[in-house]
Structure 1
């Protein structure tokens, strides 16, 4: 899995329609302006929790007009913008927040997560490490750090980062799942299987570790194949997108796991489940032509 909702102390995931940010002339806010701005920010945050990113972005823009020197408003605006994938606008807002509050580790973590989404893992490493200097016990930041190392092909540091994340937060199943991804690609299948079974003890209905475990069991021994087929059918019913190889790759599945999964899903006993998943997968049109 590549991402959580953008992991760190400041939790960012998306955005509202793109708008140019206008320059601001700073005037110290009156008490009334400050109260109004904070009230509008609270309303924007409630709208974000309800999934109403467009309305939240409009309120967040009003917040930063009223309180342009308050970094919380800019972080809120960035979050709203990210909800609609307006990544450039979110970057501008985060940079403004960081200028106002450079010692806030959450802003560094959020920028690191954004760099990951933009396909800049080396930059993400630098930003996340700076944030970890300020907050060395942030599990979400270590998770993103591990994902950056995976993108750079650095399996050892990736595994260490995911293990640090799950040590800090014992129920951090996404980090344990990604340990399995690294271990499987490194030829340590039995250890990967243990990680995915551990994940399913925490999150029994999670599609990704269910299908990954199914593939690993299928490849390990003929005695495990009945369980593998059952798990694969369950995983595809939970999230049909995992039938698509390009989607697996987006979740940072390596070539070995993707190839094993392809062989598993070619089993005649899974034909009905695979056909149904292909019909329901949002990315099914991308399946053909995906490189291994």
Structure 2
């Protein structure tokens, strides 16, 4: 992959010095520029490839204009519209994303990735019913898509269809026994249902798969502390926060589908002096380990 990418610009140049001199009462005959549509489309696909490469390096501000121009040069290519929609998703421009993705779907209604992207856009707009419907349709085309199964489970979770959500998560796990995000989310549901021990088992399994995953580590820490294992809970909580401090933000946890019961217990946990010391070590609050 090249390190430096260039923008292909389409410039139509009229050579005015080749035109005859105008005389009185004589109309200038316009020249028709013949556009090579195949060449334009090829340029559009090159631009789309550049945009995708830039997006891999999170240079979305550079990728977006290329993707927009690519849709003008190759307007009948569904993958170009899918790329544009995906970039708008990354910038949280959900309406623009849906518009681009709907265009892509019109061009290729059998592309499951387009349907999954529409599911994601609607999920982030909190239109969970539409999100679930797009995921369902996409899974009819790609029934074993692990991410699609997982995302449909999340949509069901937000719709309150908890048994259906667990079923989808289990289907995702059946594709990969080490797919800890689905195992983790089953734990989230069990905790809200009052099955704390069942949730702990799910999070222990998730942590065993990936010891550096902060979400199940913090959830497990809160659950252990709440059920009386304060020493292990505090140690795990400190470790989770040191991996990623975003998980000390209740709003961030809510966005990651943490339910009311778990958020209430987590709020209390995060307010503990030892956890506060891990969060703000510069303030010199040192609580000795016990």
Q: TM-score, normalised by structure 2?
A: 0.81
Does 2:69 match 1:62?
Answer: yes
Residue 77 of structure 1: how far off its partner (Å): 0.9
CA 60–269 in structure 1, closer or farther in 2 if over 3 Å, else same: closer
Alignment of 1:223-234 (within 5 A): 224-234=229-239
Unaligned runs of 5+ in 1: 1-26, 279-292
Please give the per-residue CA displacement for 1:49-74, whole angstroms capped at 9, x wherever unaligned: 01111111111112111110010110
Does 2:60 match 1:53?
Answer: yes
Residue 231 of structure 1: how far off its partner (Å): 0.6
Give the distance between the partners of 1:166 and 1:146, measured in 2 at CA.
Answer: 12
| RMSD of equivalent CA atoms | 2.0
Q: What's the counterpart of residue 15 of structure 1?
A: none
Give the distance between the partners of 1:127 and 1:144, measured in 2 at CA.
Answer: 10
- The alignment partner of 2:157 has SS state of helix
- Larger RCO of the pair (alpha carbons < 8 Å, separation 6+): 1
Q: What's the counterpart of residue 20 of structure 1?
A: none
What stretches of structure 1 move > 6 A for 4+ residues in a row? none
Q: What's the counterpart of residue 158 of structure 2?
A: 151
Q: What's the counterpart of residue 203 of structure 2?
A: 196
Residue 228 of structure 1: how far off its partner (Å): 0.3
Please give the per-residue CA displacement for 1:238-266, whole angstroms capped at 9, x wherever unaligned: 22222222222121111111122223233
Question: Does the 8 A contact of 1:214 with 1:228 survive in 2?
Answer: yes
Alignment counterpart, residue 38 of structure 2, candidates 31, 46, 54: 31
Unaligned runs of 5+ in 2: 1-33, 284-290
Does 2:115 match 1:111?
Answer: no
Give the distance between the partners of 1:100 and 1:122, measured in 2 at CA.
Answer: 24
Give the distance between the partners of 2:36 and 2:175, measured in 1 at CA.
Answer: 40
Q: What's the counterpart of residue 258 of structure 2?
A: 253
Between structure 1 and structure 2, the one with the greater Rg is 2
Q: What's the counterpart of residue 43 of structure 1?
A: 50
